[in-house]
Chains A and B, each alone.
Chain A
């Protein structure tokens, strides 16, 4: 096992990784931007290295600076967290070339899954169900119109190299397609990727359900259960739970088996996530995309299995054999506490005057901030993840209600009132919700 790990990330995920690294007796090295100098993850690391200004391009996304920090601190391994460099095959390769251990799948696996068109074709070949859609990159609107006519409306339009829901749009007709195509093309250009667009049949009233996989050093791929991420605004997740209330044991078995095939098809190593859309009425699913990294919502899987996924990532990256995790037990829910207004979900950065985290049986909070810190506009709005565990979904919901009420944040706008509203919403409480829930709540 390596003895030191540089965490190439910030906020709650850097702090959460640093916690495990230190618990394992390894040295944790943080890197940070000028805007983040006062945050807990900087303080809690064994060593912290300033990368540069707030702008990610000059700090967290400056590969040269991050690699230089690794060299200067004597780091032996690099954990990318999520976002930033986590799905950047070029950076992964540079880490390996510098003689360091990359805590993640191979650069080849990242590359093959990073292009959504390639990933889709690869999954189809591996026997994983995919939605009707384009198999070649679409670059012109005319091609898109022809493809949509074949697929049938509504269609989902997205940039092949995109992520985080940015530039994704649903088109119900040709006029809508022109708009969605323009939006996706603009997003593609902004990511610096090719102008390649993907069209897929859009499933209305679908649930977004993903499977956590773990590729072991010996080549075995395990599936650790699913997470339901259907509570979304702007195609971005807000609340996740496991097990999914919309998946029967029979469907779960099929989804987990498909996720294992997906992982095996790319020789997957470490923690990854196979995202699917589930048609709950028909109890059927299609592959959406694969995230070749640790997922934001990984704590719900940890709560029901009792494993520490970051520890497993480190051990697998070090070439150690790990025991298959136990079968999931109980129910866990995660609420992303965002710095945003709870009505329109617009960003609301600001200084945190009051920060009091809830505690109690079955409550876990992964936070990136504390009282006195400032949430700046430079990064994503996630301040903390409030997670609850219960033996049953009802118990988890009850604990969630108390925990949300007990989480006090003053200063930045925050979505805790939305979390409380959700917990009182019959569709969410009943469990029969889909990805349209938040839009219906705000209609």
Chain B
């Protein structure tokens, strides 16, 4: 099980996966936006998205869990 966490304070601009989706290492899960910069959040393992903790428009803090991949 791998938790994907936010590296910075950001707004969630786009959510590209849903719970239950199968993802591969390198797939973009969500796109964050902070200070006019788009920051893709990438899966670092193959697996299934068992939890997705953010929605488009959310403001997330550094260290917040974005998704859990199993």
A binds B: yes
Whether A381 and B35, one on each chain, are in contact in the complex, defined by CB atoms closer than 8 angstroms, is yes
Q: List 22 A-B contacts (CB under 8 A).
A: A164-B36, A166-B36, A340-B35, A346-B8, A346-B37, A347-B8, A347-B9, A347-B35, A347-B39, A348-B8, A349-B9, A349-B35, A377-B8, A377-B9, A377-B10, A377-B33, A377-B34, A377-B35, A377-B59, A378-B35, A380-B36, A381-B37
User: Main SS of chain B's interface residues?
Assistant: strand
With a cutoff of 8 Å between Cβ atoms, the chain B residues found around residue A346 in the complex are 7-8, 37, 39
With a cutoff of 8 Å between Cβ atoms, the chain A residues found around residue B34 in the complex are 347, 349, 377
With a cutoff of 8 Å between Cβ atoms, the chain B residues found around residue A234 in the complex are 37
Within 8 A of A (CB), among B1-35: 7-11, 33-35
Chain A interface residues (CB < 8 Å from chain B): 164, 166, 234, 339-340, 346-350, 376-381
Interface centre among A164, A347, A348 (most CB of B within 10 A): A347
Whether B10 and A347, one on each chain, are in contact in the complex, defined by CB atoms closer than 8 angstroms, is yes
With a cutoff of 8 Å between Cβ atoms, the chain B residues found around residue A378 in the complex are 11, 35
User: Main SS of chain A's interface residues?
Assistant: loop
Count B-side interface residues using an 8 Å CB cutoff.
Answer: 12
With a cutoff of 8 Å between Cβ atoms, the chain A residues found around residue B8 in the complex are 346-349, 377
With a cutoff of 8 Å between Cβ atoms, the chain A residues found around residue B7 in the complex are 346
CB distance from B56 to the nearest CB of A (A): 13
With a cutoff of 8 Å between Cβ atoms, the chain B residues found around residue A380 in the complex are 35-36
With a cutoff of 8 Å between Cβ atoms, the chain B residues found around residue A377 in the complex are 8-11, 33-35, 59
With a cutoff of 8 Å between Cβ atoms, the chain B residues found around residue A381 in the complex are 35-37
Give bound CA distance, A340 to B9, whole Å. Answer: 11
3 nearest CB pairs, A to B? A347-B34, A347-B35, A381-B35
With a cutoff of 8 Å between Cβ atoms, the chain A residues found around residue B10 in the complex are 347, 377
Residue of B nearest to A350 (CB): B9
Give bound CA distance, A166 to B35, whole Å. Answer: 12
Interface centre among B10, B11, B36, B59 (most CB of A within 10 A): B36
With a cutoff of 8 Å between Cβ atoms, the chain A residues found around residue B33 in the complex are 377
Residue of B nearest to A83 (CB): B36
CB distance from A83 to the nearest CB of B (A): 9
Interface centre among A164, A166, A377 (most CB of B within 10 A): A377
A346-B8, A348-B8, A380-B36 known; 15 new pairs, CB 8 Å cut-off, are A166-B36, A339-B35, A346-B39, A347-B8, A347-B10, A347-B35, A347-B37, A349-B35, A377-B10, A377-B33, A377-B59, A378-B35, A379-B36, A380-B35, A381-B35
